[in-house]
Amino acid sequence: MGLKVVYSDQYDLNLGNHVFPAIKYRLTKEKLLEERVIEPPDIVEPAPASDEDVALVHDLNYIWKLKNATLSYTEILRMEVPYSPELVRAVWLSAGGSILAGRLALEDGVGVNIGGGFHHAFPDHGEGFCVLHDVAIAIRRLQKDKAIERAMTVDCDVHQGNGTAFIFGADETVYTLSLHQENNYPYPKPPSNLDVNLANGVRDTEYLTLLEESLDKALSQFDPQVIFYLAGADPYQEDELGGLKLTLQGLEFRDKLVFEKARAKKIPVAVTFAGGYARHLADTVRIHANTVRVAAEFVNSNKNYKIG
């Protein structure tokens, strides 16, 4: 059985000329098909998250404002993306995609959402290009369905997952690990269960050493039934919004390390993309495609590590 990936052409956030390259979702899907990492039947179309799913994380008033186009100017400014009906459709779909990726992970060992990872969204507002917290919604839905009790987030975006840390801050059923550049957005940074605050300019070897140490520490402290891996492309050395110095190869080793640590403990992994703002869009697409290729290699290795 090959890797199933969750994707919709309607993931495009309709941002126009914006630093967030929402076209990367479609381009990554096309790259994966071109390189035969996946075949067309491997692509699974998500349904939008229900409003009830979204309300497991987000305030009803915020949901109503999003659905009825009544956000204030300040609220839209804080999101840092232009409001549109297409944006709302995309983020509801992306949340549904992360729910589906979580279910696929529990079934197959790995599930991938070609999108998602909007880790700066808070229950009552969006910020940092993030409108709904798809990963939190997915975890809450899987818990509601009693598919899991415990989850871990492993966030390797260059920016700390402040929304994730806030949402799960008092929740002993979810462990949050964030490996990020300290001197970068967001300010302030609510505490995760484990924050690895990286200095500017960290390169492959140091990054990978710290990632391995932090994964070992997290997995010694907590026994998750699924890991949601936010595989940000923005620790890349050519990223416009990051200040780390990882190479393409270093980022690929990062992905392999996460999967190896999960497989050693038979923990399913659900992947979301999070950020990526390389000077050349092709580099962001390459990084995301490599993450999916690594995921496919682990599925195709026939190492069964589903929940027993």
Residue-level pLDDT at 209: 97
> 307 or 79, which is more confident?
79
pLDDT averaged over every residue in the chain: 95
On the question of pLDDT at 307 being above 50, the answer is no
Average pLDDT over residues 115-138: 98
Show the beta-strand stretches assigned E in the chain.
5-6, 43-44, 110-113, 151-155, 174-181, 194-198, 227-230, 269-272
Q: Closest by alpha carbon to 123, among 70, 165, 177?
A: 165
**301 phi and psi angles, rounded to 5 deg:** -75, -5
Please, what sign has the CA dihedral across residues 137, 272, 25, 233?
A: positive
Residue 283 lies in a domain: yes
> 43 or 1, which is more confident?
43
Residue-level pLDDT at 1: 55
Residue 256 CB burial class (10 angstroms; 0-12, 13-18, ≥19): middle
b or e along 2-12 (b: 16 or more beta carbons within 10 Å of the residue's beta carbon)? ebbbbbbebbb
Residue 268 lies in a domain: yes
On the question of pLDDT at 308 being above 70, the answer is no
Residue-level pLDDT at 306: 42
Residue 305 lies in a domain: no
Residue 295 lies in a domain: yes
Average pLDDT over residues 128-157: 98
On the question of pLDDT at 302 being above 90, the answer is no
Average pLDDT over residues 30-38: 97
Cβ atoms within 10 A of the Cβ of 189, count? 18
Residue 142: give its domain's CATH number.
3.40.800.20
Q: Closest by alpha carbon to 158, among 298, 87, 16, 254?
A: 254
Q: How confident is the model at residue 17 (pLDDT cuts 50, 70, 90)?
A: confident
Count of structural domains, the chain: 1
Residue 261 lies in a domain: yes
Catalytic residues: 120
Please, what sign has the CA dihedral across residues 263, 266, 267, 272?
A: positive
Residue 211 lies in a domain: yes
Residue 306 lies in a domain: no
**What is the per-residue pLDDT across 254-282, written as a single tens digit (0 to 9) for each?**
999 999 999 999 999 999 999 999 999 99
Tokens of residue 200, six digits:
């500017």
Contact 4, 109 (CB under 8 A): no
Tell me which of 18-22, 191-195, 254-258 is least confident: 18-22
Residue 71 lies in a domain: yes
User: Which domain does 9 fall in, by range?
Assistant: 5-300
